[in-house]
Structure 1
Amino acid sequence: MQLRRALALGAAAVAAVLFGPSIPAKAAPAAPPLIAPAAATLASTISLSNCSASLVRYPTSAAGDRAMMLTNGHCYEGGFINSGTVLRNVASTRQGTLLDASGASLGRVRADLVLYATMTGTDVTLYRLNTTFAALRSQYGATPLTISGTRTAAGTSMSIPSGYWKRVWNCAVDGFVPTVREDQWSWRDSIRYNAGCDTIGGSSGSPIVDDATGAVIGVNNTGNESGGRCTLNNPCEVASNGTVTVLPGRGYGQQTYWFTTCLTSARVIDLTISGCLLPR
C-alpha cells in the first residue's frame, strides 16, 4: 500500500532520487483542440503526515454542509484496519494541510468524525471536517472536488494529484479487476492504471480525477513494487475464475462512486439502502 515508503522518506535529496530529472515540456501543437480539459493541479488536495487526501463533496452537497476529506482506509490514524472491519461515526482529530493549485499551503483543516472507513472490499476513509464548505471557500477560496456519481470507463484519461508529494501523475484507466488482493485484504472492482503510471509511497489517498470532468472517480491506494504475489506492497489480481495474475510495477485505485449509492436525502451514509455498494 502506498504509504509505506513515505514513512522512510522525507529529505529533499531522497525525493530527488525517486523522481529523477524533470521531463522537458513538449512543444505545443500547431492547432490545439477546440476544447481542452483544464490542466490538473493540486487545488483541493490535502497533505497528511503520511498520506495524501482531498477536500471532497457529494454531487448533492450544499454549501452549508460540513466539509469532507477523502483518503485511504490504510491512512486512518489508528493504523491499518483489520479485514472484516468497518468503522462508522468514530471521533477523530486528524489534521492536514489544505493546498492551493500550486501546492502552497492555505491552512490547516481538522476532522472531528470518521464518517466511514474500511479496508474490506475497498480502501477508503471519509472524514467530516469541523467546518463547512462555505467557510472554507470564504477563508481560503477553496472549492471541493466532486465525487462522481457514476462508475468510470476504461480508457478514461485521469490525473492523480498527491498532496503529500505536491506532484501530479497523468495516467489512464487501463481496466478493472474483479479482486485485487494484498496480504489479508481484498478489494472489489479495482481500477487498474496504465503501465508506466508510477505512483509511489505517500501518494496513498490521492484522488483519481477524470481529466474531462474534474470529478473524483476513485482513490489511489496501492501498486506492486517488486513482483511479489499477493503480499504486502505487492498486490495481485484475482480473476472471477480464481486465476491469479501479478503485474510488477502496476498501480491500482478504488471506486468512490459507491458513496453516492448509500446516501439518504439528507446526505447521510446509510448502508441499509437498497443498492448501496459500500461494504458493511
Structure 2
Amino acid sequence: MRNRLLFLGVVLTLPVIGTSAPPAQAIVGGTESAHAYSFMGSFQPSFPAPPRSDGHGCGVEVLAPQWVLTASHCAGKNPTGAKAGVPRGWKVRIGSLDTTSGGEVAEVDHYYRLANYQDGLWGQDLALMHLKTPVKAKPIRVASRTPEENTPVRMLGWGMTCAEMKPECFPTRLREADTVVQPLSVCPSASPSGELCVGSRDGSVSATNMDSGGPALVREGDDWALAGVVSTDGGAGAPALYTDVTKHAGWINGIISGTDVPPDDQIPNVEGAVGLSGCAGSVVRTPASQQDDPALLLTNGHCVEGQRPAPGAALVDQPADRQVQIADRQGYPQATARADRLLYATMTGTDAALYRLDKTYGQLEAEGAKVFRLATSPVRANDALSLAFTSRRFACTAEAVVPQLREGGYEQQDAIRYASSKDCAPWQGTSGSALLAEDGTTVVGIHNTHNVAGEPCTDDNPCEIGQDGGVTSVQGRAYGQQVHMIAGCVGDRSEVDLALPGCALTGATPRS
C-alpha cells in the first residue's frame, strides 16, 4: 500500500493506511522564490499543531475571495476525520513568501473534503476550505484540461529541505522548481483515474513532506492555472503524485457557487477519549478515589512505550513521560496532562496498563475534562457496550465471555467477544479504547485486539481455547478485556498495590 507522506507530519489516531518511510528531500532541485504569488498560501492549524515553529502544515491555493483549495488529507486532521464540518484553530497565510509574516491571514470556518481515508484518496485527494473573511489576493483559476505528458509545470511549497524533523529542515521562505508532467508509468503507484506524475524521472526534482496541497502550475495564455495539488510520493526515486484538479472542477464549482454544497457530517460524542500514538485511553477513577488523588489513565498493556510486559509478567512502577490530551465532545483537547509514571502494565490475564497523571481528579474536572468510573463487576454475555475511540463511538454487544484467549505468547481470561456487526468493527489503532456501560460513564472493559487474517493464535490473530483444548480462530472477530479486578489493586493516593487483599492482577501477592 502506498505511503501518504506529504502531510502535516502529525500522527493522529486515524485508521492506518500505510507504513512509515523517510520522505523525499526538499522541493528537490528547487530554489527560493524571488517573488510572492498572490494565490499561494500556507495552511497553519493549531490543532493538530505541525512539528515546526512557523506552524506550516500544507500548501493552499486561493480560488475565490473566501475559498482555498488543499489536499483532503491536510483537512483530514480534524479529530473525527469528518468529510465536512467546522474546524477549530485553523488559519491560512496568503500571498507571502514567508510563513511567519506578511500577506493576509484568515481564519478557516468550514471545510469540505472530496474524499476521506475510508473512501480512498487516490485521485481525489482534494479539500475546499472556506475563510471567515475574504482575502484581497488575486485567485488562480483551475486549468481548462489535464496537462499532457512533458507539459512544463512549476511547483511551489514550504516543504522540508532534509529528512530529519529538525528546525533547519523547515524553510520559512517559499521555494519553487520548474519541471514537467511525466507519464504515469514513471510513478509506479499512480492512479490513472485522476493523478498526475510531476517532477524529474529520478525524483531529483519533486515535492516533499509538508508540500501537500501545494500547486502544480501550468501556463494558459499569460497566466498561471492550477492543474494539480500535491497528494503523496510516487514511489522510491520517483516524482510526486498530484491530484488532477481539472477532473473535479464540477465539485469545486458546485461548492464555491453554493449550488451543490455537501451537508456537514454528524460529529459523534467522543468526550473523554485520549489518543496515545496508535492507541487510545481514558481517565478513570475507582470507587475509593478522592478529588486530590492523582488521576489515573487506563489503556492496554501492549500500548505502553518501550518494552512490552513479558508473557506471565507485569511492569510495575516505572518512569514515564507521555502527553495526555483528554477530548471534548467533538474530539478537541478539553484538558492536557502528562503521564509521569507507569504504575502497572500486563498482557497476561488481562491486557491493561495504568499511568499516573501529573494532575488530580479535581484539577481535571475543574478544567471540564470527562473522568470515567472504573467498574467493579465483570462484563457478562449480552451486555450492551459502547467502544469509546477518539473519532467515534462503536455500538457493540458482548456476544460471549471467552474463558481463555491466546495471542502470540500471551493468554487472557474471560475475554469479551463482540457480536459481529457493522456498528462494531474496530480497526488497528483502536486498542486501549474504553468499553462503556449503557450509562456512558462506567468503564466496564477495554478493547484490545481483533483477528486480522484468520490465523490461529499468532500476533494480531487471537484464538479461543476451549475446555477440551480445541482452538477456534475466526477472521474479523474482535475482543476486549475485563477491568473489574483493577480497582481492588489501587490503594491510597492512586498507588497500585499488588499486595492488597483481593488483588487478582498478574503479579499480585496479597498479604495474608
TM-score by length of 1: 0.84
SS of the residue 1:15 aligns to: coil
Give the structure 1 partner of residue 287 of structure 2.
59
Conserved 8 A contact 1:222-1:235: yes
- The answer for the alignment partner of 2:471 in structure 1 is 244
Please give the residue correspondences for 1:167-246 in structure 2 after superposition, counting only pairs within 5 Å. Answer: 167-196=392-421, 197-212=424-439, 214-246=441-473
Q: Which residue of structure 2 aligns with residue 30 of structure 1? A: none
Matched AA of 2:331: G
Report sequence identity in percent. 35
In structure 2, distance between residues paired with 1:101 and 1:63: 23
Partner-residue secondary structure (3-state), 2:401: strand
Q: C-alpha distance in 2, partners of 1:7/1:137?
A: 35
CA positional deviation for 1:91: 1.1
Q: CA deviation at 1:9?
A: 6.9
Structure 1 range deviating more: 40-49 or 238-247: 40-49
2:117 counterpart of 1:15 = yes
**Per the alignment, in what secondary structure is the counterpart of residue 92 of structure 1?**
strand
- Distance (Å, rounded) in 2 between the aligned partners of 1:256 and 1:9: 32
Any residues of structure 2 matched to 1:25-36 within 5 Å, and which?
none
> Matched residues in 1 for 2:19 and 2:481: separation?
25
Which residue among 277, 295, 316 is the counterpart of 1:49?
A: 277
In structure 2, distance between residues paired with 1:107 and 1:260: 24
Q: Is the 8 A contact 2:314 2:345 kept in 1?
A: yes
Q: CA 1:205–1:7 in 2, change beyond 3 Å: closer, same or farther?
A: farther
Q: Per the alignment, in what secondary structure is the counterpart of residue 158 of structure 1? A: strand
| Other-structure match for 1:274 | 501
CA distance in 2, matches of 1:7, 1:96: 24
- The 1-side partners of 2:329 and 2:19 are apart by 24
Alpha-carbon separation, structure 2, partners of 1:60 and 1:267: 9
Q: 1:144 aligns with which of 371, 374, 392?
A: 371
The superposition leaves residues 96-144 of structure 1 with CA deviations (integer Å, 9 ceiling, x where unpaired) of 3210122122243211111110112211111000111111122x21131
Partner residue in 1 for 2:301: 73
**Count, aligned residues:** 257
Quick one: distance in 2 between partners of 1:42 and 1:185? 30
Larger Rg belongs to: 2
What CA distance in whole angstroms lies between the structure 2 residues aligned with 1:235 and 1:64? 40
The one-letter code of the counterpart of 1:188 is: Q
Structure-1 separation of matches of 2:297 and 2:339: 8
2: CA distance, partners of 1:270 / 1:111: 18
CA distance in 2, matches of 1:16, 1:254: 27
Deviation sequence 1:178-211 (CA, Å, 0-9, x none) = 1111111111111111112211011100000011
**Contact 2:404 / 2:465 at 8 angstroms: preserved in 1?**
yes
Aligned-residue offset at 1:274: 3.5
Counterpart for residue 344 of structure 2: 116
Q: Quote the RMSD (CA, aligned, Å).
A: 2.5
Q: Distance in 2 between matches of 1:255 and 1:77?
A: 22
Poorly superposed stretches of 4+, deviation over 4 Å: 9-14
Deviation at residue 212 of structure 1 after TM alignment: 3.6
Residues 1:47 and 1:72: Cα distance change in structure 2 (over 3 Å): same
Once the two structures are superposed, the pairs formed by residues 150-165 of structure 1 within 5 Å of their partners are 150-163=377-390
